[in-house]
Structure 1
Amino acid sequence: MDKRAVAKARTRLALAERALNELGQCQHAGEFADIWYRVLVAIKNTYNVLNKGAQASPQSRQWFGAKKEERRKDPLLQYLYQARDADEHGIDAITAMTPGKIEFVSANAGESHVVEMTHNLLGTGGSFVVKSADGKPVHVRAQLPMMKLSTVVGRGGVKFPPPVIHKGKIFEPNTPYHVAKLAIAHWWEVIDQAEALS
């Protein structure tokens, strides 16, 4: 393994990590899509640099061949590869906004049927307060608006749904942030393995 590739892969993956940290600060869907694209490209660049560096010896070529097969078979790694390709070469969105909702669950025995609501939802840090009008507990379910991964279509019309399995294990949530965090952790491990070969 070429040591220069290891060093460059570290800088590329650090870019993905910095972009991932920016995802939580997004103010709108367009900004999220731009940052998500940077995450995907930086992960793909990490892969490409390691592939190039692995050409330095038969041992590292064989090692990277196994990593290439792992990426092909692992649902999370393959999804990110296909999502980057779909975003780069296609026109369909690879993420979608899920609107927020507040649900008042049917009151059980001992729970309030009457509530008072106040809100200040303008700008960041808004609030929504629900209080019982009769002092009994209120059962409310709230979901904040959030971005979710979309099914992407690869070459030949093959569909790749958002992943729920990585390294043979089911994971949740499968939000863009969590999926990218798992992938970045995986590629840090791969870089460490590559360094051991150099």
Structure 2
Amino acid sequence: MHPAAVVHAQRKLENAERALHNLRNAEDFSEIEREWSAFLMALGTIYTKLEQGSKLNNVSRGWFDQVKRERREDKLLQYLHQARNAEEHGIEDITSRNARILRQPLKLPNGKTAELRISLPAGPEDLQLSEDGNETKLFDGLQRISSTVALVPVKNHGTIFSVPDEHLGKPFAPVDPLAVAEAGYDYAALLVSTAKAFSELN
């Protein structure tokens, strides 16, 4: 394994880690989608750098052949790879925006309190009441409970790749960008660590 490839792969791993951190702290749809895309791009480049570096000798080349085989056979790793390709080369969305649940505390005429929960698609976080052509807010202080971005099947060269439900031979759930990114990052970190060990044997 060429040491320079490991250096470049480590840098891309740091980019993936940064995107993962931002994904954990994302607060709206656009942030989640942007960081998910950034993570996929960084992850894909790690493979590219290590593949080039593995050509230095037969030992590292054989190891990376196994890595590529595992990526083809593992549902989560294959999905990450194909989602990255679809994001870079395709025009279809690789995520979908789920409905949000909003919460509004209410005080009832009998003095008791209640809570109104409202499910809305992506859009402004307020409800409006239209009366005689004049729009006013129906409620003030709506509190968001959940706002999620879901993964969707991705398509490349006519083949559809489903959202993964298995990783490394075990059932995988929940399936959302953050959970899949965390699993992908852990796997990539192990790849870079292994590649580094190979580079020290040169």
Shorter-chain TM-score tier: 0.7 to 0.9
1:173 CA displacement: 0.9
Q: How many residues align?
A: 170
Aligned match of 2:155 in 137, 153, 156?
153
Question: What amino acid is aligned across from residue 91 of structure 1 in structure 2?
Answer: I
| 1:59 aligned partner | 59
TM-score normalised by structure 1 residue count = 0.78
Question: What amino acid is aligned across from residue 80 of structure 1 in structure 2?
Answer: L
Aligned match of 2:115 in 114, 117, 122?
117
Q: Secondary structure at the match of 1:116?
A: strand
CA deviations over 1:63-106 (Å, ceiling 9, x no partner): 10010111111111110111111111111100111112379xxx
Q: Secondary structure at the match of 2:25?
A: coil
| 1:47 aligned partner | 47
Identity %: 35
| 2:163 aligned partner | 162
Q: What is the RMSD computed on CA atoms of the aligned residues?
A: 2.4
> Aligned partners of 2:187 and 2:176: how far apart in 1?
17
Q: Which runs of 5+ in 1 are unaligned?
A: 104-113, 129-141
CA deviations over 1:140-193 (Å, ceiling 9, x no partner): xx96120110110111x1111111111111121111001011011001111111
Question: What amino acid is aligned across from residue 22 of structure 1 in structure 2?
Answer: N
Q: Secondary structure at the match of 1:91?
A: coil
TM-score normalised by structure 2 residue count = 0.77
CA deviations over 1:97-131 (Å, ceiling 9, x no partner): 1112379xxxxxxxxxx861379x77xxx775xxx
Question: What amino acid is aligned across from residue 116 of structure 1 in structure 2?
Answer: A
> Aligned partners of 1:160 and 1:194: how far apart in 2?
28
Question: What amino acid is aligned across from residue 55 of structure 2 in structure 1?
Answer: Q
